[in-house]
Amino acid sequence: MFLALGRIAFTFRYPSIVLAVLLMGGLGLYGMDFGNQLSQEGWFDDTSQSVAGSILADDTFGRDTDADVIALYTAPDGRRVDDPDIAAAAKAHFTQLRTDHPDEILRYDSFWDSSFAKDLADNDRRHAFASIGLAGDGGNETLANYEAIKDDLAIDGLRLQVAGLLPVADAMQSGMESDVGRAELIALPLVGLLLFFVFGSVVAAALPVFIGGLTILGAGGILRLVMLFTDVNVFASSVVTLIGLGLAIDYGLFTVSRFREEIAEGRTPDEAVRITVATAGRTIAFSASIIVTCLGGLLIFPHGILKSVAYGAISTIVLAAALSIVVLPAILGILGRRVDMLGLPFLRRTKTGAEIDAGTWSRLANWAMKRPWLLGVPITLLLLALVIPFKNVEFGGLSEKYLAADNPTRVAQETYDQLFPDRRTEPIRLVVAGADNKAAGEIRRAASRVSGLTDEFRVAEATKNGINVYKAGLDDRDNPHSVDDVITQLRAITPPDGVQVMIAGTPALERDSINGLIDRLPWLLGILLVASFVLMFLAFGSFVLPIKATLVSFLSLTATLGVVTWIFYEGHGAGLLEFTPSPLMFAVLILIVTIVFGLSTDYEIFLMSRMVERRAAGHDTPECIRYGIAHTGGIITAAALILIVVTGAFGLSEIVMMKYIAYGMIAALVLDATVIRMFLVPAIMRILGDACWWAPAWAKRLHVKFGLKEYA
């Protein structure tokens, strides 16, 4: 199959290149405005009680707009917000604001024109605020309305700070857009420079970058197509760019490396292309299949953020693999030996098989196999020790703390919460359906007796269609245990027959979201295990190798989670990396689980494919181990360095969630490309010996029939 594909790639090399460039260019043009269509939705569990309660309340009374925008005003020293001249200017300002933005502003309630004015200023009347509700469904339309009014909120003589759900969402979106731009501006040139030192040739170095650029160009169009069927969260665009760019360049690196190796052996361009596709192309196909399957596991979760990452990343990875298997070999077929043009002699990296076999990586493999227990046991214990911090981790929801500490929106939100703790923008909501006045009153009084509230539940909306909504603040909003305790107490209230009580509001939405993720996590792990085993069996024809690979990948994964916890929850390096330690967002940890497991298995496939290739030629296990490491060690290390550069660009993000993924991936890549792949894997395989290749007789027959055993 892959030999035939290689022959097609060479035969139709010019048409395939032209078609690919036109197609990616078309997708790029189509997706130019995809950033404007990205959603802020998808963080919650759509199957939860809190979502059901929120929908019921919103359908009955309209969306709760109290927390949309909080404009916080501070009077100069020696002045008060109720001084006559300030009050007159403020009243005139809000009247004009409503006049200027009739389609954007649904309602507003300010200190200067509210019947509850005393609740909208602090005791010394130095600070006051206005709550501004905007039109729209709470998604992109509402965010666009905020963009339209945010420059018109300032009042002469008062210092303005803007807090609320929409400003936080706007700051998040701006940060994500900056991340993608930074990656394209910084990562691609740095990767090109790194590849030049890997290959010693400008032409060879440019090819993986070219494939990465085509992939990112096409990814924008793919995301735009995905948006025709479902919302795509803004966070997904950064993750898709990170994964797509990194893997496209990695795949390009493996393809170019194998082609140059075949050219060095004296193959013609035609032969080199066919062998490259039959070997590196085959491995890329299996690698992409496993990563796609891992990301496909995200579709079991009802959270829109995870689904949108899955749709976008899967499409992009398939695109990256296709370009690397078909288009890149076509380009190589045209270049032939000219792939090494514009190189420096002292950086020459093209080596024959004999030169590779006599190199450093070959000696390293032999050294590791001579002392398997001495290396295997300490490395395993080290990886297990790295997971220890994870046992104390706490999980939290989306908040302003995911912005940089000096971000104006975060500072505004923290200032507002400190000044008005009983008016925080994220109250707990009690939605009561089917109760008469007496029953509703009893439920409200019982709920108000729950410990952990800032005050009693107050009426949020007048009764309508038998629906009542009450709300109250939380004493310790940032403590997950406190929030869980309040929600548990509220859900323990037993309503009369025929009456339904639902706990809603952002705190309940966040806790239900986390619990929904945890409940489905075993299913995700099961998918990862089964999928990786089946696909690696089809690739290698062994039961032992997939099991070994899965165990090693889980060691890498758990160690990575421990490192992420140690940094972002316990706060080590918080000053250097510029973030505030806080409970980790569990949805992002789920992404890390799938991405890191997929990448770890990806490197395992590239390493094992060369070992199996040697085994198919009739060599013993130690020689297969040595050969595999000798021929992939340098490439895997280079691939890891490239991904570290790409993820490092995202590590500069102001959004802490993006830092999770970036530094988590960096930790996993460092572990994978060094101690795991170069020391632990050869040690374990040397201990297992010929058992590495074992599979039951029926499975061997199955592999002969369905497995892809095509080697050049």
Residue identified by tokens 């139709």 is 12
Average pLDDT over residues 36-54: 83
Average pLDDT over residues 244-253: 86
Domains of the chain: residue spans and CATH: 2-30+170-398+511-706 (1.20.1640.10), 68-163 (3.30.70.1320), 407-510 (3.30.70.1320)
Pairing of strands 458-464, 467-472: antiparallel
Distance CA 299, CA 408 (A): 35
Distance CA 411, CA 232 (A): 28
pLDDT digits (tens, 9 = 90+) for 255-274: 998 898 888 888 899 999 99
The pLDDT score that the predictor gives to residue 345 is: 66
Distance CA 697, CA 581 (A): 53
Instruction: Compute the C-alpha angle 55/58/59, nearest 5°.
Output: 80
Average pLDDT over residues 193-200: 84
The per-residue DSSP string of 270-323 comes to HHHHHHHIIIIIHHHHHHHHHHHHHHHGGGGS--HHHHHHHHHHHHHHHHHHHI
The pLDDT score that the predictor gives to residue 503 is: 94
The pLDDT score that the predictor gives to residue 712 is: 43
Q: Which residues pair with 635 in a beta bridge?
A: none
Q: What is the pTM of this model?
A: 0.82
Distance CA 148, CA 105 (A): 10
Q: Which residues pair with 458 in a beta bridge?
A: 471
pLDDT digits (tens, 9 = 90+) for 338-385: 888 877 765 655 666 677 777 788 899 899 999 999 999 999 999 999
Measured between alpha carbons, how far is residue 662 from residues 38, 423, 651, 666 in Å?
A: 21, 35, 5, 6
The pLDDT score that the predictor gives to residue 639 is: 83
Mean pLDDT of the chain: 86
Average pLDDT over residues 142-152: 90
Distance CA 179, CA 653 (A): 6
3-state secondary structure of 40: coil
Query: Does residue 580 have a pLDDT over 60?
Result: yes
Q: Are 690 and 625 in contact (CB under 8 A)?
A: no
Query: Does residue 164 have a pLDDT over 60?
Result: yes
End-to-end alpha-carbon separation of the chain, Å?
A: 12
Average pLDDT over residues 422-431: 78
Instruction: Compute how many other C-beta atoms are within 10 angstroms of the C-beta atom of residue 46.
Output: 16
* Distant-in-sequence, close-in-space partners of 678: CB < 8 Å, separation ≥ 6: 361, 364, 365, 368, 629, 633
Task: State the DSSP code for 349.
Answer: -
Distance CA 67, CA 505 (A): 11
Average pLDDT over residues 415-433: 83
Average pLDDT over residues 121-139: 87
Q: Which of 457, 17, 458, 34 is nearest to 211 (CA)?
A: 17
Task: State the DSSP code for 39.
Answer: B
Distance CA 150, CA 169 (A): 13
Dihedral sign, CA of 402, 403, 405, 410? negative
* Distant-in-sequence, close-in-space partners of 37: CB < 8 Å, separation ≥ 6: 140, 224, 227, 232
Distance CA 174, CA 211 (A): 27
The pLDDT score that the predictor gives to residue 711 is: 47
